[in-house]
């Protein structure tokens, strides 16, 4: 989810596709998992009836000390607590927590990611790939392959590279990678075309 600085608030729809009523508890954390006081989510606690939906509003309280040259990442947490059944006796109630990335995007950078992720540079060393992100955006990988895409054994574990940072991706058996294929998750939750890099 992208939160542009120009907006006073953003919203997230929470669906309950089941027949069970839920309580939805929502809060925001920073990228270190600590409570984020510069933003708030309303309502922090709401009831979502079965086969219904609710809207959460995320509002900026004070973002004056956030960087103006890059995105800031936060987490929207939503815990879904199901209603207890009316039957008597012991019951197992399981609460599910969903975490959604929020990218606060300041006015000083382009409001859209576009294809800026293609500016990343890649370097191979024995047993690892090092990717450098020279852009002000958090770039989240969908998949990374250290060789032909057709071979599942070439899939590598990679999550996200932060703005103006590097990410080291482990490669099995201390191998040296000569070709990288990857795609990323775009601003709209979709997936980019697969990019091909020769090293």
For 140-181, the pLDDT digits (tens) are 999 999 999 999 999 999 999 999 999 999 999 889 999 999
Q: ∠102-171-149 over CA atoms, to 5°?
A: 75
Whether this prediction's pTM lies above 0.85 is answered by: yes
Domain boundary among 105, 130, 149: 105
Q: Which of 42, 45, 46, 48 is nearest to 19 (CA)?
A: 48
Predicted local distance difference test score (pLDDT) of residue 95 = 81
Predicted local distance difference test score (pLDDT) of residue 84 = 75
Domain boundary among 48, 77, 105: 105
Q: Which segments of the chain have a pLDDT < 70?
A: 85, 87-89, 91, 93
The reply to whether 111 falls in a domain is no
Domain hosting 35: range is 2-105
Domain boundary among 105, 125, 158: 105
Predicted local distance difference test score (pLDDT) of residue 41 = 97
Predicted local distance difference test score (pLDDT) of residue 94 = 78
Instruction: Report the DSSP pairing between strands 195-198 and 139-145.
Output: unpaired
Contact status, residue 43 vs residue 14, Cβ threshold 8 Å: no
Residues 98 and 121 in one domain: no
How far apart CA 17 and CA 48 sit, in angstroms, is: 10
Residues 29 and 101 in one domain: yes
Domain count for the chain: 2
Residues 96 and 128 in one domain: no
How far apart CA 4 and CA 101 sit, in angstroms, is: 14
């Amino acid at each position: 989810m992208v939160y542009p600085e120009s907006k006073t608030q953003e919203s997230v729809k929470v669906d309950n596709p089941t027949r069970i009523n839920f309580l939805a508890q929502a809060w925001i954390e920073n990228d270190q998992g600590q409570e984020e006081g510069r933003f708030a989510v309303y309502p922090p606690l709401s009831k979502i009836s079965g086969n219904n939906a609710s809207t959460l509003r995320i509002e900026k309280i004070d973002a004056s000390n956030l960087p103006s040259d890059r995105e800031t990442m936060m987490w929207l947490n939503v815990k879904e607590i199901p209603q207890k059944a009316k039957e008597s006796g012991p019951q197992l109630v399981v609460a599910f927590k969903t975490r959604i990335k929020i990218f606060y995007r300041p006015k000083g950078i382009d409001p859209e990611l576009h294809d800026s992720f293609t500016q990343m540079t890649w370097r191979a060393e024995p047993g690892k790939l090092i990717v450098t992100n020279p852009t002000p955006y958090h770039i989240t990988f969908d998949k990374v392959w250290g060789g032909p895409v057709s071979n599942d054994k070439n899939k590598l574990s990679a999550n996200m590279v932060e703005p103006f940072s590097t990410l080291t991706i482990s490669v099995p058996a201390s191998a040296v990678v000569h070709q990288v294929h990857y795609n990323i998750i775009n601003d709209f939750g979709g997936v980019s075309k697969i990019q091909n890099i020769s090293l």
